[in-house]
Each structure stands twice: as C-alpha cells, then as structure tokens.
Amino acid sequence: MYDTENDRTTFLEKTKAARLEREHAKKKEDSIILIQSHARKWLAKRNIRQQILKEFDELIHENTELKCCKQIYQLAKKFLWIWNKEEDKTRFEYLCRYINASLDSKSPSLSYIGVFLIKEHTQTWIAHIKNILWKCCLYLSDSKIDSADMKNVLVLLHTLVSFTSTNTWSLLKNNNAILISLDQLCHNFMGHLYSKGFYSVLKDILMKGLMRSKITLKNVALSGVITLATRPLISSGLSDKLIHNFLTHILCVPALMKHLEQNAPLISQYLKIKLPPYFFLSQDILMKGLMRSKITLKNVALSGVITLATRPLISSGLSDKLIHNFLTHILCVPALMKHLEQNAPLCLKQFENEEVLKRCLEVLSNQEEAQHIFNKLEGNYVLCMIGNLIHLSYLQLNSHMKEVKFPLYTVVLTRLLSMLQEYVSNKQSNLTTWHPILGWFAQTYDPKLTESLPLVKSQLFLLWSDLMVDSLLTDPLQVVLKSADESAGTVVPSSQPTGSSNIIKICIKQQTQLIVIHRKRLLEDGYRQLAKIPPHSLKGIVRVRFINVQGLDEAGIDQDGVFKEFLEETIKCVFDPGLNLFKVTSEERLYPSPTSYLHDSHLQLFEFVGRMLGKAVFLGVVVLSFFLSQVLGYTSQALYSCMDELPSLDTDLYRSLTYVKHYPGDVTDLDLTFSVDEDVMGRLVTHELTPGGKVIPVTNQNKINYIHLMAHFRMHTQIKHQTTAFIKGFKSIINPEWLSLFSTPELQRLISGDNSPLDLTDLRRYTVYYGGFHDSHKVVLWLWDILNKDFNEEERKLFLKFVTSCSKPPLLGFAHLEPPFSIRCVEVTDDEDTGDTIDLLDFLLLQFVTSCSKPPLLGFAHLEPPFSIRCVEVTDDEDTGDTIGSVIRGFFTIRKKDPQHRLPTASTCFNLLKLPNYQRKSTLRDKLRYAITSNTGFELS
C-alpha cells in the first residue's frame, strides 16, 4: 500500500514539474517575442527617422532654393513627427529660414502660404503652423539671449512676426480677395499662442536681454518682441484681459520704455500711434479695474499703469500741460489714492519725491486753468478729484504739505467747492430725485460710480480729521490769536467751567436706542433688533430692557450696566462652540467655524458678531480670547506667512506639516496628495489645494509648496467668507486706523483682558464704602475673607459680574474702574452708622442717584434723563434693595429688623454692592453665593 502511495506522489510531482517547465518556457518565449518586437520597433523608428532626416537634409539646408510648397509641407510634417528638441535644433532653424524666405514669393506654388489655398490641406496646415509657432516659443524660452544665440533668436522671432500679420506675405499683394480671411487666420494664430502663455515667453526674452549691465538683445530683436507683444493687444481692441497681461508681463520689465527710446525709436513711435495716449489708456484701465465692488486690477498691474501715466509727466519736468492731463484723466478716478495706499505705496512715494501734489495745486490755483479742468469733468468726477487731492495731502502731512497747506491748499479747495456749488445751483434738479453722490446731482445712474462712493466719502471725511484740521489751521489760528491778544482788553473769566471735553459731550446729543430682550432668547432678540441699527447709531447709546422667564420686565434700569451684561452674555452665547459659529483652538482661542454655513444666514450672523465685539471694545468690555491676525489685516502684508501663524490656530496640523517638512525619507511613502479631506455631517468632502490636486502626489521636490498651500487653506481659504463678514462688522464700529496702532498681542489684551486670576488686593485697594461700612468693619472683613478663601476662581468671576456686569477686571486694573467699586450698608442702626454724615449728605445723594457728585454743566435742566423719585411701600421680604426707600433709610439711619432673610443686591451701572449688615459670616457666605449663582438677572438689582 505504501509503495503505491509513493509512486502516486512521485508521479504527481513529475507532472507538476513538467507543467511548470512548460509554463516557464512559454513565458520565456513570450518575453523573447516582446523584446524582439520592441527591438524591431526601435530599429524601424530609427530607420524611419534616419530616412526622414536624410530627405530633410537633402532638401532643406542653410541655402536652399525655393521648391514646391506642397513637397516642403509634406516633408516638414514628417520632420515634426519625429522632431527631437535637443537634436534637431539646427534643422528646425533651417525650416524656419526656408518658410520665412518663401513668404517673399508671389507664386502660390512656392510660397508656404500656398498650401493653405489647397482645400484638402487647409485644416492640417493651420494646425501645422500653430505647432511650428509654439516650438519657436519653446526654443526662445530656452535661449540665453546672448551673442552666440542671437542668430537663432532672430530667425525664430522673424517666424513669429511673419505669421501674426499678413504684412510680409507677398502672395497677397495681387490677391486681396482672401486678405480678410487670412487676417482672421493670423488672429487665430495669436489667440493660440496667447492661450499657451505667449506673454510669459516674451517677458522671459526681455528680462534675459535687458536686465544686464550690457544689453544683449539687439535692436531688431527688441523691436520684434514689442511688435509681438502689441499685436494681440491692438487686434483685440485693447480688451481688459489682454491689457492685464500686457501690464503684468511687458510693462513690468525694468526701464523698458527707456530701452525702446534708445534702441528702438521706431517701435516707440509705433506705440504712440497705435496705442491711445498714456493718460487716456491709463484712465481707461483704472476705471475698468478699480470702479468695482471687488477690485480686478492686481497690484503689479496698478503699479504699471501709474508708472505709465507718470513717466511723461516727470520727464517733462511736470509741465502745466501734462499736469492738466494728469488731473483730468488720472486724479479723477474715484478713490485712486486709497487704492494706491493699500496696493501700490511706492507710487505714492514717487508722487511725494517729485512734488506732484504741489504742482497740481499750483496749476489749480489759476482761475482759468481750474475752470477749464472743471468744464472737462462732470460734477461727480470733480468731487472724486477733490477726494484724491485731500487723500494725497493727508498722506503727505509730514512733508511737503507744510509748504503748501495755507493759503494755497485752502484757496484751491474752496475754489473747487465753489464751482461745484455753482454747478449744482445751475442744474435743474427735482429734489425728490435720487442723487448718486452725497445727494447733490440728478443725472444718469452710474452703477460703477455708485460702488465707489463709500471710498470717495471716506476720502472727503479726511478733510475734517484731527491731523488735517491741525495742519491746516494751527498756524493761521496762532496768528489770529496773537493779534487778538495784542488788541484785547481785560478778560472777564467765565463763571462756568469750559473744559473742551465737557462742551463736546454736551453738544453731541446722541439718539438713544432701546431694545427689549427676553432672557431665553438673548441671541435671537439681539440679532433681530440690533442688526437693523446702522453702525453710526450703534456707536451711540443703546439701552436694554430685559424680560424675565415669567414674561415680566426686570427691575434693572439701564445706565450702561444692563447693556454691558447683555453684550457679555450675547458674545458668550455666539462664541459657544456648540452653536457652531466658532471653534476653540488648543490655546482656548476662538476662530470662525469652517462649517458655519450649516446655519441659515451665517454670514449675516458673523457680521452681527463683529459689530458686537466692536461695541464691546468701544465700551471697554473684555470678552473671550479671539484669533486676531485676520482682523488686523496682517494677511495682506508682504511678511505675513500662514505657516508662521498656523500654531495659533491648529497646533496639531502645524506639527504634522513640520514632520512632513523634515521627513528624512521619501515623502511619497506618506501617500499624500495636494488635497485635504473634511468630515462634514458624516460625509467626506475633499478640497483640492490646487486644480487637480487629488491626483498630484506630494514629493520631496514639491513638499514645501504643499506645506504652504495646506497652511493657507487652513488659515485663509477655509474661513475666508466668515472672516470677511466678521471683519466687516467689526470695522463698522472700530475705525481701522485705530487698529493699526496695535500689534496682535496688544489688541488681544484690549479685547480679552488678562488671563491672570482676579486680583482681590487691587480691588480692595480701590473700594469705596458707604452707609457705615469701612475697611475694618466686620462684615467687610468677612466679605474679603470669603472671596479669598471660600470662593473659587469661577465664583470670584461671578461675583465681579454680579457687581459690575463684567466677569473680567478692567484692562489697566481696578484703579481705572469707573465709577469705583463701592459697598453700601443698606440697613444700619444709629450706633453702627459711622460713614455718612449730614455734611456729606448732599454730595453722596447726588452721586448715588446720578453717579456723578457734581451738577450738570448747564444746570439740571440738561440732566438726561431727568431726576425722578418713586414712592415704594414694601415689607422686609418684598424689599429688593435698589429702591429710594432703602436709600433714605440708609441716609437717615432708620432702624430695621435683623436682615438675615435679605440677599445682597447690586447696581451694576454704578458698580455698587448693597450688603445687609449680617450678624454671622456663614449667613453672608451662603447669601452671597446664592445671589451670584442664581442667575436672576436684574431681579436682585
């Protein structure tokens, strides 16, 4: 039995070995066949290439005579099929030379254009020429533009120039019938080259040839490049897109115009004929690029346009004629100086160095010249010009403005405004007609101008800024006062104080806004009512009346304390990560949630939150720590790096990207792509960091680019819309100029205060006592001991909020708390009252009921709201503390029963704690803890 089994096993093994041997032989045979096929393919391609190159070398060489165009076309197609960029450079140059030479022939059979006239070859010939032209561009991009390469460069440029215009096609001189269609064909060629990056190639040539100590680009080559650059521009009718490329790729070449004047004067003259004059062209570009809600003119393009506009101005020595054109075509562009300040500050520096403003004012000081300029411009654009003059002078306050500010500056502005007044008076206008700018002019609606109006208005407002008023009026005012002092007699002092701050406060009577807020609907009611209030009104006085959970009005009377509590509670509510408007970083800083779009109208909510935070800063209310680099506008600065700021937002991502940056091996091992996956409501959403990023792997060569793109996505792209809406709301309350005074840590401290624990020693040092209390009183000693030893940090914050409506201390300490924190004994006996005396009664009563110990400057008739007294009749249990009854009893020491059943109360408007005279420390601790944690709103006020 065993022998049979062994024989069977041996048989199976032999059979298996034979099968494997056959399979191996089959694979070996297949491999041999595959290798042979590749070898035969390579040999065949080599033989075909050698045969085509042999035919090419026999037919086309350096001094080839013209042959049948169809024969050359067929050979050129084969050559381009097997063309190798490095090996066939010389042959391609010979082909271009031959084609250029054939264009001089008038014979359709010899000219290379003749192939186009053969119907069956028309479409393939067009694609063939496009292929040749782009290969010319490729060779030009690789060229060093030196003397060794110049011969080849000229041939390639000649080919491009020849096929982008029909001017050199001799065949068409006697055949005008097809001229129009062939002109269109040249436009087609230019469009193809433009779509593949033609202007970038021309820029490379200019940069390589001109940016040297000794220029290597010959005059004829320079002329060719500029000709190629302007042909698409002119054929398109100066379209916005081509103008943009012309500015960003051609006019940004350093000293280009100077090189053209010196080395290619004919081209310089050609530009003056073919292109509109500098000022007209610049004005057209600026109007199209800047008069929009979203600027489309990039910084480099804007700088190029201004350079184009100012060069003839400066080269002429700021002549009156060119200054006239500069005023009527450049300075009339709405808010131009504001855009230059933000996007091209170097241009403003050039204006300052060349004293452009001074010359403009000198020209406008001439009555006839000013009237001429005014007549050229429509009234709206005269106002835009005034806005730009004001803004430019504002930016130059510390330099040339000192020389021209008075009386020249004031005379010019007064004259222009007077002309506007006459213009308005002479126009027939229906007073009910909507006026596009400042409500002055009735005319055709211009949507682009309307979009620019807020910026123009902000420029005009600069005329009334502190710096401008001080600069314009300080010297004249000193002269007037000096002359007045010399001629003045005895001065009788006023019986009333005339402090400027008090006068201003009285003169500026702000309208009070009243809102009604339900405790259960803080955010909803606040958003519904405050979102309708314009920003300038929100900067004024806003009063709040709370409705408690029972639907009844709370007892608190808002003298800023109630509104501050509403503000803090609202901000606390919207900053709650559970609402998904904001998220919290690992450092407990808030930033906009990328998935906030799940809320309806989430961008409007962010604008509202920005307003509320701005109002909090305006009032000095400190809130939670916030992510601020976007708010300060640092993202637009040249030195800003998303990667450097990333740790403040996402520490984990920063560590991961740092790990990728310093990864010792091949980054492809990490299997990363230029995309990021996000889990949104259980669904995986992929965001591409760059077009096609899902299929682009991260390698050692591109990992730095990946790191920066990832950081930019996290810091900017992902929260771009939320941040924009938030900043819009914030800056509608807080002037952006104020923000520029602070660094990020300083503004963070201004908004969020210090994170240090509550300093009870500082609070006690600046506490004021009334009603018999003093610093050594037993109840007062109990209070400070309870706060220090029995209460935790959270309870101390609740206590501070209970008495001041804010849970964080003032930014600079309690010395700056206004009014100072005070503690009043609400129930005292005759023996216990050692504080208030009859001598201080009037002083204390006035301070208690108005929060100010002095009467109004102009008398009590101007006290707003008027002083009022309400009669109350309550029992011990009903008395809530903050009533005139308790005040009078405190002042006149009316005897009361033991206050053990009363709770501490507070008046947050006056930072006042009203404390019963408890007999036991435990009672004080329990009652105080209950009062600060019960969250009863102003029912204990």
Which pLDDT band, with edges at 50, 70 and 90, does 429 fall under? Answer: very low
Between β-strands 768-770 and 905-907, what pairing exists: parallel, antiparallel or unpaired?
Answer: unpaired
| pLDDT value of position 831 | 44
Which pLDDT band, with edges at 50, 70 and 90, does 870 fall under? Answer: low
* In the predicted structure, residue 697 carries a pLDDT above the cut 60: yes
- If one compares 732 and 559, the residue with the highest pLDDT of the two is 732
Which pLDDT band, with edges at 50, 70 and 90, does 878 fall under? Answer: very low
Q: What is the mean pLDDT of residues 72-81?
A: 85
Q: What percent of the chain has pLDDT over 70?
A: 70
Structure tokens at 696: 């682009």
pLDDT, one tens digit per residue, over 698-722 is 988 888 888 888 888 888 888 888 8
| pLDDT value of position 268 | 53
- If one compares 465 and 97, the residue with the highest pLDDT of the two is 97
Give the whole-angstrom CA distance, residue 613 versus residue 253: 46
| pLDDT value of position 626 | 59
| pLDDT value of position 49 | 79
- If one compares 537 and 781, the residue with the highest pLDDT of the two is 781
Q: What is the DSSP string of 85-106?
A: TTTTHHHHHHHHHHHHHHTT--
Which of 63-77, 397-411, 420-434, 498-512 has maximum average pLDDT? 63-77
**What dihedral angle (degrees, nearest 10) is formed by the CA atoms of 123, 125, 128, 133?**
-110
pLDDT, one tens digit per residue, over 469-521 is 777 766 655 655 555 445 444 333 333 333 333 333 333 345 677 888 887 78
Q: What is the mean pLDDT of residues 582-591?
A: 72
Give the whole-angstrom CA distance, residue 798 versus residue 931: 10
Is residue 334 within 8 Å of residue 449, measured between CB atoms?
Answer: yes
| pLDDT value of position 492 | 35
| pLDDT value of position 689 | 86
DSSP conformation class of 113? G
Question: Residue 848: which of 559, 416, 468 has the closest Cα?
Answer: 559
Q: How far is CA 551 from the centre of its chain?
A: 44
| pLDDT value of position 838 | 33
* In the predicted structure, residue 445 carries a pLDDT above the cut 80: no
909 belongs to the catalytic site: yes
| pLDDT value of position 642 | 73
* In the predicted structure, residue 375 carries a pLDDT above the cut 80: no
| pLDDT value of position 808 | 76
Across the chain, mean pLDDT equals: 73
Question: Residue 224: which of 124, 154, 131 has the closest Cα?
Answer: 154
**Angle between helix 219-235 and helix 256-263 axes, rounded to 10 deg:** 120
Which of 286-290, 486-490, 530-534 has maximum average pLDDT? 530-534
pLDDT, one tens digit per residue, over 207-266 is 777 777 677 777 778 778 777 877 777 777 666 677 677 777 776 777 666 666 666 665
* In the predicted structure, residue 308 carries a pLDDT above the cut 70: no
DSSP conformation class of 213? S
Write phi, then psi, for 515 (nearest 5 degrees).
-125, 150
Name which of 13-22, 431-440, 811-820 the model is least confident about. 431-440
Structure tokens at 890: 């405190």
Q: What is the mean pLDDT of residues 761-766?
A: 87
Q: What percent of the chain has pLDDT over 90?
A: 0
| pLDDT value of position 506 | 38
- Who's near 838: CB < 8 A, 6+ residues apart? none
- Indicate which residue of 96, 137, 825, 909 is catalytic: 909
Name which of 124-138, 265-279, 480-494 the model is least confident about. 480-494
Write phi, then psi, for 560 (nearest 5 degrees).
95, -30
